[in-house]
Chains A and B, each alone.
Chain A
Amino acid sequence: NAGVTQTPKFQVLKTGQSMTLQCAQDMNHEYMSWYRQDPGMGLRLIHYSVGAGITDQGEVPNGYNVSRSTTEDFPLRLLSAAPSQTSVYFCASSYLSVRGSMNTEAFFGQGTRLTVV
């Protein structure tokens, strides 16, 4: 059981380049989300999805796109990288509702450390 897998772990981009951060989960979770974490600001929600084909914006969506074509995958696209997007990005997944003894805790990937120069 791999849980939540994020790739790559590290990435350096030049301003204006585009790229996709990959996220996959094998727990059949309905809910998936992307956060960015900056020093002193905690985790801020970028985009989220409550199921395949459904996505919505979080607190800081500008400059990012997402899609959810399958339950397992939730890629995050940076359209034109900017230095302000230098951050650590976390993907997370969870059930939408309690399942027996399992609550709706979020499981996190190991993070992608992105630097835009």
Chain B
Amino acid sequence: GQNIDQPTEMTATEGAIVQINCTYQTSGFNGLFWYQQHAGEAPTFLSYNVLDGLEEKGRFSSFLSRSKGYSYLLLKELQMKDSASYLCAVRSGSARQLTFGSGTQLTVLP
């Protein structure tokens, strides 16, 4: 089976930096994704890591360590619109199934 863990809730201040961690246990790893989901909306793609290291995309960066089963999403210069749920997802197996963590609800305070 697979196990994906991430914190349930986090709070940060506008303009600050926040790091959301994700740990996973899986076989046949084929990539790790981060998605953003605003309340009442569909998840939208943020980042993708398949090799170890840091991927940067504007204010958002994602890091992966395959040997440690660990990833984090780094959000810089937080804005109020960044208040959302952030979902860590792992693709694995021969059929490339995508398994999601329960999500981290981030609240950005003024």
A residues near B (Cβ < 8 Å) are 31, 33, 35, 40-45, 48, 50, 56, 58-59, 90, 92, 94, 96, 103-111
Contact = CB atoms under 8 A, between A and B. Distances in A.
9 contacts: A35-B100, A40-B8, A43-B43, A44-B100, A58-B97, A103-B31, A103-B48, A104-B96, A106-B89
B13 interface: no
B75 interface: no
Contact of B102 (A41, A103, A109): A41
Interface of B: 8, 30-31, 33, 41-45, 48, 50, 87, 89, 91, 95-103
Contacts of B45: 105-107
A42 B33 contact: no
Contact of B33 (A33, A58, A59, A105): A105
B59 to A, nearest CB: 19
Contacts of A96: 96
A16 B104 CA distance: 35
Contacts of B50: 103
A40 to B, nearest CB: 6
Given A90-B42, A108-B42, A48 B95 contact: yes
Nearest to B6: A42
B31 A104 contact: yes
B42 A111 contact: yes
